[in-house]
Structure 1
Amino acid sequence: MKAFFFTAVALGAVLSPVAIAQRTTVKAKPSPQALFDGKTTNGWHTYLKPKAEPAWLAVNGTLKLDPKATGQGDLVTDKEYENFELALDWNITEGGNSGIIFGVHEDPAFQATYDTGVEMQILDDKKAEDNKKANHLAGSLYDMKAPAKNVVKPAGQWNQVKLRKLNGHLTFWLNGTEVVDTQMGGSEWNTLVQNSKFKTWKNFAAYPKGHIALQDHGHEVAFRNIKITQL
């Protein structure tokens, strides 16, 4: 009996460091990765084009669209993403309109990023033409869900965005305030789609994994501090 007791104690002494390590091991938190190096358009290309067209420029640490330049079109990431948290700042000119579109399936069968992708709206809420509906305002899930609060800054000022997509659960923040929360494919989502322009678009939001796009809507817009954390 004594021999068994001492054997058990000895075995416990050997195993206890392993057990402690197992209990204290914490899964490393994913680190954000820069999607824009502040100097070039590396990592991006114009939709359905091999590289970024001249309308998109890296200027003074910003990724900027010049709507008067040649070679326009939405700018998309070279890589595709499914579960992620995107952070960036945007600045739109007076009367301007743009968007962050994700879940974009790049294929010549689709002429635009929004044929397949879902959009977080960028807008000058005060003077843009597309400011008549609440679900078209800055921070909205475009044409589907209005922002919970109006926290957008005026044209010419920088706005901070955090956009999370995790297993189809979407959460948008604008300037530190949560403005949209919904589950793709859920009952609320299905109702939102049915009440939107997308109700007959069979390929809308159909691809869980896709590119992220910055929209060319014909207005000057700039982005900076673009980072992504894959979840």
Structure 2
Amino acid sequence: MKKIFLGLMAIPVLHFGAMAQTKGYKPLFDGKTTTGWHTYLKTNVTAWKAVDGALQLDPNAEGQGDLVTNDEYENFELKLDWKISETGNSGIIFGVHEDPKFNETYLTGVEMQVLDNKKATDNKKANHLAGSLYDLKAPSADVAKPAGEWNAVVLRKKDGHLTFSLNGTKIVEIQMGGDEWKELLAKSKFKDWADFAKYPKGHIALQDHNHEVAFRNIYIKQL
């Protein structure tokens, strides 16, 4: 039976006041089409659709894969909202180097986790929870909203300095390549991945983790 991602009907593209909050930002999603995006290592998009002002993944559709921006970014501030289904798992991955020798975006890119903290199976480690710098640094506070509710992200990367904010609270801050980064990396699953986080400039990806997920109000400002 095909799953139905409830609660996405009649959602405006922008919530009240969002226009003022995104002044100086460029939209990465027009609210109606997948223009500006493609499936990783492909030229088209099939499993992701624009539905009621959100980019939504259908995990039952053909042509699965992470959705990536056509353009690459190095220093930027990204704003978006995400909503995950019950038990769901996804992510926002950046610094992605698109090359056939890397069959997944996470082999090169760094991830801000998107998760149903309550019922997802990947909720056993603090650095796997929603808003974490995945498998590296746990969020300083659990501010994620439950499955089926929208969460607001501000993700900033400037000369390798990362800050993650979720629902108005800064929850991760770290300098890529710094002492803390090196210590955390040495304890992570990525410690022997030669190309992980090696590309300062890359694509931004929305992860297909075989769960229903949606993203809206996607804006970027280059720094």
Length-normalised TM-score, structure 1: 0.86
Q: Who is 1:121 aligned against? A: 113
Q: Who is 2:27 aligned against? A: 34
Deviations 1:29-59 (A, max 9, x none): x81000000000000000000122x110001
Map 1:146-161 onto structure 2 (within 5 A).
146-161=138-153
Distance 2:72 2:36 in 1: 11
Map 1:42-53 onto structure 2 (within 5 A).
42-52=35-45
Q: Who is 2:68 aligned against? A: 76
Map 1:1-231 onto structure 2 (within 5 A).
31-52=24-45, 54-231=46-223
* Structure with the higher helix share, 1 or 2: 1
Larger-gyration structure (1/2): 1
Deviation at 1:67, TM superposition (A): 0.1
In the comparison of the two structures, how many residue pairs are matched? 201
Length-normalised TM-score, structure 2: 0.89
Q: Which amino acid aligns with 2:174?
A: T
Deviation at 1:194, TM superposition (A): 0.3
Q: Which runs of 5+ in 2 are unaligned?
A: 1-22
Q: Which runs of 5+ in 1 are unaligned?
A: 1-29
Q: 3-state DSSP class of the match of 1:57?
A: strand
Q: Who is 2:5 aligned against? A: none
- The runs of at least 4 consecutive aligned structure 1 residues that moved more than 2 Å come to none
Q: 3-state DSSP class of the match of 2:32?
A: coil
Deviations 1:149-205 (A, max 9, x none): 000000000000000000000000000000000000000000110010000001000
Q: Who is 2:11 aligned against? A: none
Q: Which amino acid aligns with 1:200?
A: D
Q: Who is 1:23 aligned against? A: none
